[in-house]
Chain A
Amino acid sequence: DQQVKQNSPSLSVQEGRISILNCDYTNSMFDYFLWYKKYPAEGPTFLISISSIKDKNEDGRFTVFLNKSAKHLSLHIVPSQPGDSAVYFCAASLNTGNQFYFGTGTSLTVIP
């Protein structure tokens, strides 16, 4: 049962434009959400997180938006750069739990 879903397996964006990666979840008890970036043959790298008490968190070019009523979060990258080309995973956790539930990833390609 996939509790965290990334329905777009891939996304292509022109350099300098905005990249928007989406993630949906089913468990309304999820309390904390994270985004990771992964290059081939490497481990996932933590990018940005947001707790359920917020609806937006920003770090440089990366902004995460959380819509709890829709059980949806998104990652915005502005402006997109070729080095951003990677697979992006969203993840969620429960306040009382120790598992992190990951989506299946979205492969982002930023075209120079």
Chain B
Amino acid sequence: NAGVMQNPRHLVRRRGQEARLRCSPMKGHSHVYWYRQLPEEGLKFMVYLQKENIIDESGMPKERFSAEFPKEGPSILRIQQVVRGDSAAYFCASSLLGQGRNTIYFGEGSWLTVV
């Protein structure tokens, strides 16, 4: 499967636990984006990364959230000490280019439920 792969698809965490969401971009893509969709809302940008670099994290909450895209392996979105308000669908996307007239392709999403 050459598409964007996300796992887990569904994750349940108790308040205060950590959530780790993984994303492998499409083959040949080195640009990764994370978006969040809260219930009844649109897609909100969180962070944009290239290999080993965070390029734009202007959409990330200042606390508890972090992202990385190591030289080897998938991109990881990490949420520490989860709260109920973190319950959402988290979508990863990747692109061939980093900017300009660029198309991003999404994965299937990871649904986080905090209980």
Residue of A34, A43, A49, A102 ringed by the most chain B CB atoms within 10 A: A43
A98 near B98 with CB under 8 A, answer yes
B91 near A44 with CB under 8 A, answer yes
Tell whether A45 pairs with B106 under 8 Å between CB atoms, given A31-B101, A95-B100, A98-B56.
yes
Query: Chain B nearest CB: distance from A26 CB in Å?
Result: 15
Look across to chain B and name the residue whose beta carbon is closest to the beta carbon of A33. B101
Task: Give 1 or 0 for each of A79-95: 1 = CB within 8 Å of chain B CB.
Answer: 00000000001010101
Tell whether A44 pairs with B43 under 8 Å between CB atoms, given A98-B55, A99-B48.
yes
A104 near B109 with CB under 8 A, answer no
Out of B31, B59, B100, B107, name the residue touching A99 (CB < 8 Å).
B59
A46 near B105 with CB under 8 A, answer yes
Look across to chain A and name the residue whose beta carbon is closest to the beta carbon of B56. A98
Tell whether A43 pairs with B91 under 8 Å between CB atoms, given A95-B99, A99-B59, A104-B42.
yes
B45 near A32 with CB under 8 A, answer no
B42 near A103 with CB under 8 A, answer yes
Scan residues 45-94 of chain A and give those whose CB is less than 8 A from a CB of chain B.
Answer: 45-46, 49, 51, 89, 91, 93
A97 at the interface (CB under 8 A from B): yes
Look across to chain A and name the residue whose beta carbon is closest to the beta carbon of B50. A98
B interface with A by C-beta (< 8 Å): 4, 6, 31, 33, 35, 41-45, 48, 55-56, 58-59, 91, 98-109, 111
User: What are 8 of the A-B contact pairs (CB < 8 Å)?
Assistant: A32-B102, A43-B4, A43-B6, A44-B43, A49-B103, A93-B99, A95-B101, A99-B56
